[in-house]
Chains A and B, each alone.
Chain A
């Protein structure tokens, strides 16, 4: 069983991945809907943009986030007025996890939403439902399993986030040191036994996520 120190790393990792996923959810749903259901201009651009974190080294994604949240970044004024500093906090780690996982989330959701018969959505419009009501009342429920699968995949990816996290949140034990960072630190300091224990926890979490994902996908197809 995990020791209290190990528990704190586990809980931190789960919190970072969960909050990161929740941050990504509205963005992911909106982008997936725009890609699957509209014929707007600039779709190719949007598609490329959200795919970047999938193909870029996570360190580069982290650097982009660092510039965004930094002292001279576009969000500096907002942080000052709210009297918060996000860099090197667990919240920055969550943002990194959410951003890096976004392409996976969008991909699953887009496929699921594209599978919803647009004629059924149009039928809902003629019954008096606005675009928003059609989205919440028809598109999302009918694409629910795909959306859930994408969310879970993003959560699992967030749990393993390393490169972008270390750039924007550092590696501060008890504050921003998540599972992968703890494994890295223990390996670097020759603490192999501790590293292996964290590796086992990672495996268990990843396996659980994959099993649930598999179940969701199977039901979505059936």
Chain B
């Protein structure tokens, strides 16, 4: 992990809860994860300057965004002077401007010497070229979010805040935006703060994760470690747990109507996708749809059977979450009875059974 770029040491009180943070974000993508009402959005608002902390210090690289530690030198930069990009879950495009003017809005407000991202490049990376002359009201949810991303980045911010950018999207759009986001991060190197209540998004994209609960900072570490933190587990909802995998299309099987794709360490048969060999693909496997067998199973109708080693067992709600290493980590949710009858423990060899039809192709 790199240098810290964002220092957050502040508190903000509301009648019903207090947010208290003491965190350093290191360059890359930092996920802020927690149930609703945990203070995720308030955190972003305090960084962007649309909410004012009660006390403390916020620093972005070497610039102080907010400080009232010293009352003679208190600082509270207005949002337009922070150079913080903000993408809201609803996009919040300007409804009276065409896509092109939306994207240029922030660009035009930035002095020339501060512009380090060019709208042309963003239009290319985010694939919004065909949309440039459309009005926001005519865009689909996924298109709207890509435009919102381009607009925020065109202002050449020093950090990009993403507030549940996928929450209002359907599954295929989610995958596409996630892929574009990572491409943007790779090409521009801009640090991102990614707020989500979906753990799968967090583990898929982030290098660092901050977990909040009722305004308290519960954990700050790599997503993998955070996932197995005892105080974090009660915050996870078994229904939302899934494994996100990225790989490439290997081939199609016309007879069965399935597509084969290779991921780190194994291949899977998926519902047929309209994509050529070698193309990238992202899929989601709900943890509750993964079966765990202590012995290699015989005579199964399911196509996908993976050999894996159990790396961790965690109690999440009413289920046991099994993390199994099959080259990539795959999550499986079992009932406690099933887990104990299988005598699962870390290091145990198991087989994972995934029905092709339970695999969701994201994009």
Contact = CB atoms under 8 A, between A and B. Distances in A.
B111 to A, nearest CB: 9
Given A126-B50, A127-B151, A138-B94, A133 B88 contact: no
Contact of A126 (B48, B94, B95): B48
A216 to B, nearest CB: 16
A147 B50 CA distance: 27
Interface size class of A (residues with CB under 8 A): 10 to 19
Interface in A93-139: 117, 119-120, 122-130, 133, 137-138
Contact of B80 (A120, A125, A141, A142): A125
Contacts of B194: none
B155 interface: yes
A129 B80 contact: yes
A129 B109 contact: yes
Interface in B82-127: 82-86, 88, 90, 92-96, 105-106, 109-110
Contacts of B105: 124, 127, 129, 137
Interface in B269-327: none
B79 interface: yes
* Interface of B (DSSP majority class): loop
A124 B110 contact: no
Contact of A130 (B48, B80, B151): B80
B92 A127 contact: no
Contacts of B362: none
A40 to B, nearest CB: 16
B78 interface: yes
Contacts of B84: 126
B210 interface: no
Contacts of B78: 125, 130
A111 to B, nearest CB: 18
A66 B85 CA distance: 53
Nearest to A128: B109
Given A126-B79, A129-B106, 5 more contacts: A119-B90, A120-B93, A120-B95, A127-B152, A129-B109
22 contacts: A122-B50, A124-B94, A125-B78, A125-B80, A126-B48, A126-B79, A126-B80, A126-B86, A126-B152, A127-B80, A127-B85, A127-B152, A127-B155, A128-B80, A128-B110, A129-B80, A130-B80, A138-B94, A141-B96, A142-B94, A142-B95, A142-B96
Interface of A: 117, 119-120, 122-130, 133, 137-138, 141-142
**Nearest 9 CB-CB pairings of A with B:** A127-B106, A128-B109, A125-B79, A126-B86, A123-B92, A141-B96, A127-B155, A126-B79, A122-B50
